[in-house]
Amino acid sequence: MSASSAAVPDPTPPDLEKATAEERVRWAADTFGDRLVMTTSFGIQSAVMLHLATRVVPDIPVVFIDTGYLFAETYRFAQELTDRLKLNLKVYNASMSVTRLEALYGKLWEAEAGTKELENYKDITKREPMDRAVRELRIAAWLAGNRRSQSSTRANIPAVERQRKITKIYPIIDWDNRRVHRYLTEHQLPYHPLFEQGYVSVGDWHSTKKLEPGMTEEDTRGGAAKRECGLHEPGGRGDFSI
């Protein structure tokens, strides 16, 4: 990765929407140097972005926010991909254990979308650890695997956007499930193991369901309002405001 990263530019090339996924990754690496990271949840199709990005930038820091509520299969999948792709993995956990969190505040994740309780859950388990990663790794930009076809909340996001002081780049923003499947097949990459059990999206175990007849992908994560984990929406606790 380029080391020319003292100044943090904010250019958004007008043609980036028409660029390939690889070109978007290369632009991000050339623009932000060693202040570029990528994030992963080790979800159903995470192998795509991990493989694609590390082919262009092999040593890119990969930030994994571990809420403490992930499926056992997710942890094993994370280890498998870390070993296989030789990831430069950076794991960030909440500042308190799951046991302490529930003892002090109860099961915040049971709250309805938009409530103070659910936002507090996102703050503690996701936003605060990401803020810490931003400070410690001096992050100026990050790659994420968001796609417009995943949910209504992501349908109109651009290939590059700003969240306060962080530039976010979505290399596969315009890919659909067919294109994702083709990439996984071509490179002999695995889906998350729960895919074979009917899961099309995987997050915390308490808020993830199998896809049943009549459901959309959004429904498997509690609907559009609950699908967003907190890292891709405005929140509290600094919200990446280095």
Q: Which residues are catalytic?
A: 229
Residue 185's CB: how many other CB atoms inside 10 A?
Answer: 9
Provide the token pair at 174: 């315009």
User: What phi, psi does 58 have (nearest 5°)?
Assistant: -55, -30
Q: Are 5 and 162 in contact (CB under 8 A)?
A: no
- Counting every residue written for the chain, the total comes to 242
Residue 129's CB: how many other CB atoms inside 10 A?
Answer: 23
- ∠21-47-218 over CA atoms, to 5°? 85
**What is the rounded (10 degree) CA torsion for 173, 222, 220, 61?**
40
Q: Are 98 and 156 in contact (CB under 8 A)?
A: no
